């Protein structure tokens, strides 16, 4: 059996988020200008370093909200590394489909947990709300990985939103933290940011349920 035969089939990437076209042009521009010594694995490590910066900024924000700037910078570093690692491999035609798929998404899972959970460990957002957001995101990720296996479609966006839009939303939440994080709504234990986080988590879980039911019906018709 050849190495090509041992590879898992490559699923069709479906990316329909709002910023997809502009982001792709920017990534191609960057790929064409990156030095030859820059490798995809280095970019994956850089993206994870950005996640650590995000987490560090949130944890240090107990000392002062100025540390949130570190989190904002971390999101940019995370985007740069995470978006360019696979793009650079495809640009240079040096893909390692199974290795890249496994390592990239394993690192992404840890990075996502660090960034969102640490947001809940800041003084501005409830930890349980942050964890619900992580759960919703992971449920939708599980659906994506399962769909890639059973129907060969790897969906990178839902409701016209993808990883880049999610980072921008988290950056906007971070900017709002010093203003809205300490307020309480109608005497409850929830701030406006907490309620927004609960809303996002609810949307993610609802999307998982709807997408799963839809795919299950499709598979049932294929296998009556």
Tokens (6 digits) for 151: 């129907």
Show Cβ contacts of residue 178 under 8 Å, excluding neighbours closer than 6 positions. Answer: 65, 68, 124
Tokens (6 digits) for 56: 């560090």
Specify if 34 maps to a domain: yes
Specify if 3 maps to a domain: no
pLDDT value for 18: 84
Residue 19 pLDDT > 60:
yes
- Angstrom CA distances, 45 to 30, 155, 183, stand at 17, 24, 37
Nearest-angstrom CA–CA distance, 170 and 165: 9
pLDDT value for 113: 96
3-state DSSP of the chain: CCHHHHCCCCCEEECCCCCHHHHHHHHHHHHCCCCCCCCHHHHHHHHHHHHHHHHHHHHHCCCCHHHHHHHHHHHHHHHHHHHHHHHHHHHHCCCCHHHHHHHHHHHHHHHHHHHHHHHHCCCCCCHHHHHHHHHHHHHHHHHHHHHHHHCCEEECCECCECHHHHHHHHHHHHHHHHHHCCCCCCCCCCCHHHHHHHHHHHHHHHHHHHHHHHHHHHHHHHCC
pLDDT value for 4: 37
Q: Which residues pair with 158 in a beta bridge?
A: 161
Specify if 62 maps to a domain: yes
Specify if 70 maps to a domain: yes
Specify if 109 maps to a domain: yes
| Among 126, 129, 50, 33, residue whose Cα is nearest residue 88 | 33
Specify if 2 maps to a domain: no
pLDDT value for 10: 64
Specify if 19 maps to a domain: yes
Specify if 1 maps to a domain: no
pTM of the model: 0.89
Nearest-angstrom CA–CA distance, 185 and 157: 32
- pLDDT top residue among 84 and 8: 84
Tokens (6 digits) for 70: 């570190």
- Provide the domain limits for residue 112: 8-222
In this structure, what CATH number is given to the domain that contains residue 119?
1.20.120.1760
pLDDT band at 188 (very low <50, low <70, confident <90, very high): confident
Using one digit for the tens of pLDDT, what is the confidence trace for 29-71? Answer: 999 999 999 999 999 999 999 999 999 999 999 999 999 999 9
Q: What is the mean pLDDT of residues 113-128?
A: 95
Tokens (6 digits) for 130: 């942050």
Q: How many domains does the chain have?
A: 1
Report the first-to-last Cα separation within the chain, whole angstroms: 34
Q: Which residues pair with 14 in a beta bridge?
A: 155
pLDDT value for 6: 43
Nearest-angstrom CA–CA distance, 108 and 130: 17
Residue with tokens 């309620």: 195
What average pLDDT is seen over the chain? 90
């Amino acid at each position: 059996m050849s190495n090509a035969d041992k590879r898992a089939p490559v699923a069709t990437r479906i990316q329909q988020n709002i910023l997809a076209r502009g982001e792709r042009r920017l990534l191609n521009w960057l790929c064409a200008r990156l030095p030859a010594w820059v490798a995809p694995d280095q970019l994956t490590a850089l993206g994870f370093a950005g996640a650590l910066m995000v987490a560090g900024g949130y944890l240090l924000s107990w000392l002062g909200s100025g540390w949130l700037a570190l989190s904002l910078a971390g999101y940019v570093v995370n985007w740069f590394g995470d978006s360019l690692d696979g793009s650079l491999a495809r640009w240079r035609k040096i893909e390692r489909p199974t290795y890249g798929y496994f390592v990239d998404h394993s690192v992404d899972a840890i990075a996502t947990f660090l960034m969102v959970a640490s947001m809940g460990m800041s003084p501005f957002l409830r930890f349980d709300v942050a964890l619900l957001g992580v759960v919703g995101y992971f449920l939708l990720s599980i659906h994506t990985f399962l769909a890639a296996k059973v129907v060969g479609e790897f969906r990178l966006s839902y409701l016209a939103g993808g990883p880049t839009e999610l980072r921008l939303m988290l950056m906007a939440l971070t900017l709002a933290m010093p203003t809205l994080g300490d307020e309480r709504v109608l005497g409850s234990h929830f701030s406006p940011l907490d309620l927004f986080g609960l809303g996002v988590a609810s949307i993610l879980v609802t999307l998982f349920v709807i997408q799963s039911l839809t795919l299950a019906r499709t598979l049932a018709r294929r296998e009556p």
